[in-house]
Structure 1
Amino acid sequence: MLVVLSAGAGAVFIRSHKHPTASRELSVTSTPTPLATPSAFPVPTDARPIETTPPRTLSAPRAHASRAAVATASASATRVPKPAPTASAAAPGRVTPDASAGSAVGYFAAGGYPILVNQQHPAVGGSYVFTTWKWDGTHWVKLLEGTGSPYAAGNMAYDPAVGMTIVMTGSTARGWNGSSWIDLARVPGAITGQPYLAFDAARNQLVLLDSNPTGAVTWTFDGRSWKQAASSAAPAQHYGAGFAYDPRIRAIVLVGGRPSMGSGAFNDTWTWDGTAWQQQHPAAAPSGGYGTMAFDSATQQMVLLEENGTTWTWSGSTWTPLASTPRPSYGSYSGMIDDSVHHDLFLWEGVGGYESGSQTWTYANGTWTRR
């Protein structure tokens, strides 16, 4: 299932979604180290779990998660009926998280739900509040508020080998284990550009691309530490591109983006095969610019939503536009993921301007539906 979350076009934040292998040990820090945050966004000193609806009971994350088991569950699961969509983004009395800087949406496969981190705008004279949310199939439910929730520097990715959804906060990887965020490992050196994350199932490792103004650096994470990959060519200075793993070609795909905030547009396509980045030259290509992308496990298609609202699919060698009515407009801080429980794509994005709400969509069988 793909889920996309985005904000209004008034402010665009550049970011954007088998083979059995040996399991790997997980080494984490039990007490998170305080992380630096932008001075413009003071962090509250408290961290409060939010009691809303009773949380799903989860077993403790396993250090040796079986990817084969995960793949089997995704492939054999029966589509779960969804509630009928409503005209509004949230039911009366429900809180909808505003899309803002520091927002990212991901999928927590161990719990079977989409997860969102963001910062909520303060009251006059107050401080920004960092929050963590889950999508319960109908509404957004706040799970955590305060310093325990991270500021997202880029997109999130689920790592089945450690059983956590991972996000970069500066140069530190933090993982969601179902109840809290914990520090995993710092990348040696600074992240100076757009950080992209995707799990490379063929090689059983998390991949981080730091696409920055002077080049691009690729890192791999084995559950313990980061290792820089040697690659002579890479997609540099691509902000707001689509980024996701394609199991059909056993490679990570990057498409589109912009060189900087609002200037120019890329429509190039790159793939990472575990060793090197290679630019592809498809017969047809998207128009370019910001986008969000995820692999739809239900239809075995790579799906891209462009900033102009056009939906494309990637065959592994070329791009094809899809006609779908209605369809979401691309909003700032958009994020799209595959929801393997409901067998569709999930999209979250901003709507109506910076910190002016958000909207949630799902994509299944070629049709977009607002939730």
Structure 2
Amino acid sequence: MSRQAINRVCCASSFWLLMGMIVFVIAPARARQCAWHQIEVAGPPARHSHAMVYDSMRGVTVLFGGLNGGNERSSVEFGDTWEWDGIQWRQVADTGPEPRMGHAMVYDSAKGVTVLFGRGESDDTWEWDGATWTKVADTGPSPRGRHGMAYDSDRGVTVLFGGIPRELGDTWEWDGVTWTKLAETSAPTGRSQPGTIYDPGPVGRSRLAMAYDPNRKATILFGGRLADGQALGDTWAWDGAVWTQLGDNEVLARSRHGMVYDDDRGVMVVFGGMKGSQLRDTLEWDGTEWKQVATSGPPRRMYHAMAYDSTRKAIVLFGGWDGTCLADTWEYRCPEETPQQEVVAKSED
């Protein structure tokens, strides 16, 4: 055998001997570090009690309405429509529904429209297709504000619960054409109606939050306020037929908060609200329990609005009230950790 051939054999043998002493280890990804980030950008005028949803077809967050002060009688209600694309805010309409606050909105993914219902004195239903607001109903639930709404994407219906006046306890569904009353879970204080059957379920309330959980195929309701001002910490699920209580956490009770479903991580996320004073904590619910995951981020506030941008995997928050109206934009993001490949020497026995 030539000397060159011998060298090649020796080198190959040394290489495979070395490889036998090395182990490549894929380290598990670390827990995702979620954090709030303020976006320094011009946008809608300061406001609270507005509503926001994410339009997944067009890739924008839609904002409508709100109030510019603390006194509902002397302050001005907004009737403008804005959209956030992750870079800038853009006003897209100043006509449509009457100016209002305390309304609720959802995004109907089957029809590709934003659905708006309510205001203190209104029982009208509107749809926004990205270009035009269209009034689609003026009958349905009684006039109300400060109610909760969520879009059930599995059944293709919008679910509504509660609101004021009188801290209502009724459940309605909108199928895109008609509102249908499905349950009355508690009699409004002093106003029970003879012959009405009140089903077990969430007590009548206002200033609650609702979002749809597609993993559990249920609309989730958390918190709110009773007529006497008490903040609630109970969690309920609506499956289209019955309400089921999933827990009650008095420590984390609140009203006037924001809540969205993070589809990427499969958790409900709550920020802020009020319990005695304004809050600034972030909560997450994994289907079993609520946990406080952050106490830093946006300043204390209530009556803000939140939406989950499923394209960019970010929660968008705008505005609110902390004693004055706010006009700041924040995003809550949880970047994925890339697994690290580590090289570990393996000793030969």
Quick check: TM above 0.5? yes
Q: Which digits, 9 at most, give the CA deviation of each residue in 1:195-215, with x for residues without a partner? A: 221111232211111344264
Query: Which residue number corresponds to residue 83 of structure 2?
Result: 134
- Counterpart residue identity of residue 312, structure 1: L
- Counterpart residue identity of residue 104, structure 1: A
Which protein, 1 or 2, shows the higher relative CO under an 8 Å CA cutoff with sep ≥ 6? 1
Q: Does the 8 A contact of 2:303 with 2:321 survive in 1?
A: no
Larger proportion of strand: 2
- Counterpart residue identity of residue 200, structure 2: A
Q: How far did 1:119 drift?
A: 5.0
Q: Does the 8 A contact of 2:146 with 2:208 survive in 1?
A: no
Query: Which residue number corresponds to residue 176 of structure 1?
Result: 128
Report the CA distance shift for 1:351/1:224 in structure 2 as closer, same or farther (over 3 A): closer
State how far apart, in whole Å, the 2-side matches of 1:128 and 1:282 are: 35
Q: Of 322, 342, 346, which aligns to 2:293? A: 322
State how far apart, in whole Å, the 2-side matches of 1:223 and 1:208 are: 13
State how far apart, in whole Å, the 1-side matches of 2:238 and 2:314 are: 25
1:202-351 matches, within 5 Å, as 202-212=154-164, 213=166, 215-230=168-183, 232-260=199-227, 263-281=229-247, 286-307=252-273, 308-323=279-294, 326-350=296-320
The answer as to 2:71 corresponding to 1:111 is: no
Q: Does the 8 A contact of 1:161 with 1:223 survive in 2?
A: no
Q: Does the 8 A contact of 2:283 with 2:291 survive in 1?
A: yes
Identity %: 27
| TM-score of the two chains, using structure 1 as the length reference | 0.65
Matched residue count: 274
Q: Could you tell me which runs of 5 or more consecutive residues in structure 2 were left unpaired when the two chains were aligned.
A: 1-36, 185-198, 274-278, 337-349
Report the CA distance shift for 1:277/1:197 in structure 2 as closer, same or farther (over 3 A): same
1:3-22 matches, within 5 Å, as none
- Counterpart residue identity of residue 97, structure 1: P
The answer as to 2:125 corresponding to 1:185 is: no
State how far apart, in whole Å, the 2-side matches of 1:130 and 1:283 are: 36
Q: Could you tell me which runs of 5 or more consecutive residues in structure 1 were left unpaired when the two chains were aligned.
A: 1-84
The answer as to 2:96 corresponding to 1:96 is: no
Q: Does the 8 A contact of 1:106 with 1:116 survive in 2?
A: yes
Q: Does the 8 A contact of 2:102 with 2:145 survive in 1?
A: no
185-194 or 266-275, which deviates more: 185-194
Q: Which digits, 9 at most, give the CA deviation of each residue in 1:197-246, with x for residues without a partner? A: 11112322111113442641111111111111135133234222221111
State how far apart, in whole Å, the 1-side matches of 2:281 and 2:269 are: 10
- Counterpart residue identity of residue 109, structure 2: P
| TM-score of the two chains, using structure 2 as the length reference | 0.69
Report the CA distance shift for 1:244/1:330 in structure 2 as closer, same or farther (over 3 A): farther
Q: Does the 8 A contact of 1:210 with 1:216 survive in 2?
A: yes
